[in-house]
Structure 1
């Protein structure tokens, strides 16, 4: 119940912020359109159009959060949370298009400059609108960071850049009024390029999340440390993290426990770990795999570790166990992504360990380096 209430509150906050953005941008667009046509400034007119695109971004954000908030169903058992990342991509494309068109229009003005006609009222209005737009962008971005919404963050960044564009227009107007030099087009090019850069960063971050980016090392280290703090856990490995949208994260992990722990003890331990990880990190550990650890195998394990870590590009070895009934040695290794030929390295290690223990069947599992 608590989780549902938190998600509902988050969705309401995003919708409220989006509605504020729609209303504010519509008003700003109307005022700028009047000032732009009155002064003959193409930059101000384009700025008005840009405000309308910002209002569209807010509409997309609201639609996206409504879809993302749908309950899981048979076709989508993990829910629709990733729709939020798709909306961030759409907004990023809108920002990219805005930056591109601004560059083109600014370049045209450099080639064929026009002479605008500014008056005091127009300049004062532009100054006020710069402050309002920047405040709106700052507010939207901060709310987005607080509720972990990429769409709101993207909209906030866009709004702040729009304020910079308007500020550039204002400064250029003042320079023109006092010195007769037109810098509006040149400032437009510079700010538009910065806007394009911000759009590309927004697109990169959203696409990374959809593709499945690596969990930050600081986060995985904290999770490993938390799991390792439980009595009975001798080691934690193979943390896998799946992002199905903000506040909808699933994962799995392997833990090493004493080989003589019974099923009831392991069941109780894994449930405590799952509850703690969800409470602290808002991540559902859907699966906790088990490695059995036998202290009697320590001498052999150390010797095998010496063989394994004698090779470059080996990041980790774990899950070591000797089954004396079947004469098998099993363990996992993690090979660095930078290894030139990980398959050849794996075969070499398997051959060397097998040669060192010819009376055993050696089984080595190659784990992927999911979390550094």
Structure 2
């Protein structure tokens, strides 16, 4: 089922990208012709922008194809992240197009040349605005449908292009009616938008490659599935590794009663792993456990006291995995720390507080990241 969804996703990306390539090549050809005939730098730069969009779509197809390569010994988790690398290449191309456009526009400001617009050229520019609006909405919708960052970025870029083409049309009409030439300055505006779009695309792609904060809704959904089992008192430390769009591999800690046997634990974790993958597509490769004290009111009292001590610090966001071993005289638990404090400093403060409150116990605290 999952393989079929991946295959369908790839087909949607390829088909949508082909539509973008054909449309942008046609628009680029017409605009380049108009720019050449009229001598308009703004129209010519708009044509270059369309051509870079077509090239971006080609790279998107290549990235989608490479990301679907089957796992092997060298890359056992597959090639899903190739799609992020292809998106980075697209961002660099967009930045290059924006930089080139800016240079050419500045040259035209220094050495201005008057454009000569015809009715046909105005019709072509106006038509390009409509085509880009339709294309942008279509590509962005398809990207959201299959969770493709490259398609979503391309769709948003096409919508920006429509606005830029509209500004080119406006500058042409102003020149015809007033004789004032603004097209070189419009070229600068176009360049700024292109560069801004490239920077945003590059930033988003780098975030994907470096690793982003977990999707809160996805984590909430996973925790809800896990805690639906009566024996699971809590699910913590959900960590999701992104190996490409729709390919998440994760781990989690479950809080379970100290009376559970290994046989019961094995059956439970296998059941939950299957259920999480079926409902969310996330593969839980690691399921750790915390045990909690059962049938001991003293442990519950100690837990409440320590929770009060820990939560007195603003940087201590959560405490979980609490267990008291009365025979060994040990207390262990995890604390989720904010990024406002270094883990070493936090542990030093907490150990000092708890040593004073429970000198007869050895306290073991594991710091957790706020992910």
Q: TM-score range, shorter-chain basis? A: over 0.9
Alpha-carbon shift at residue 77 of structure 1 (Å): 1.4
Q: Find the counterpart in structure 1 of residue 51 from structure 2.
A: 52
RMSD of aligned Cα (Å)? 1.8
- The range that moved more, 172-181 or 161-170, is 161-170
Contact 2:80 2:244 in 1 (8 A): yes
Uncovered stretches (5+) of structure 1, i.e. residues with no partner: none
- The range that moved more, 69-78 or 44-53, is 44-53
Query: How do residues 301-340 of structure 1 correspond to structure 2 at under 5 angstroms?
Result: 301-339=303-341
Q: Find the counterpart in structure 2 of residue 362 from structure 1.
A: 363
Q: Find the counterpart in structure 2 of residue 5 from structure 1.
A: 4
Query: How do residues 60-79 of structure 1 correspond to structure 2 at under 5 angstroms?
Result: 60-79=59-78
Contact 1:144 1:151 in 2 (8 A): yes
Instruction: Tell me, in whole angstroms, the C-alpha distance in 1 between the residues paired with 2:190 and 2:50.
Output: 16
Q: Which deviations, in whole Å up to 9, do the C-alpha atoms of 1:244-272 show, x marking residues without a partner?
A: 10011111111101111222322232233
Q: Find the counterpart in structure 1 of residue 115 from structure 2.
A: 116
SS class of match (1:241): strand
Query: How do residues 276-287 of structure 1 correspond to structure 2 at under 5 angstroms?
Result: 276-287=275-286
Alpha-carbon shift at residue 71 of structure 1 (Å): 1.0
Q: Which deviations, in whole Å up to 9, do the C-alpha atoms of 1:99-133 show, x marking residues without a partner?
A: 22222222332333211111111111111122112
Instruction: Tell me, in whole angstroms, the C-alpha distance in 1 between the residues paired with 2:54 and 2:268.
Output: 50
- The range that moved more, 183-192 or 230-239, is 183-192
Q: Find the counterpart in structure 2 of residue 351 from structure 1.
A: 352
- The range that moved more, 37-46 or 66-75, is 37-46
Contact 1:91 1:155 in 2 (8 A): no
Query: How do residues 1-372 of structure 1 correspond to structure 2 at under 5 angstroms?
Result: 2-295=1-294, 296=296, 297-339=299-341, 341-370=342-371
| TM-score with structure 2 setting the length | 0.94
Alpha-carbon shift at residue 330 of structure 1 (Å): 1.2
Instruction: Tell me, in whole angstroms, the C-alpha distance in 1 between the residues paired with 2:339 and 2:29.
Output: 54
Uncovered stretches (5+) of structure 2, i.e. residues with no partner: none
Change (3 A) 1:115 1:95: same
Contact 1:227 1:236 in 2 (8 A): yes
Alpha-carbon shift at residue 190 of structure 1 (Å): 2.5
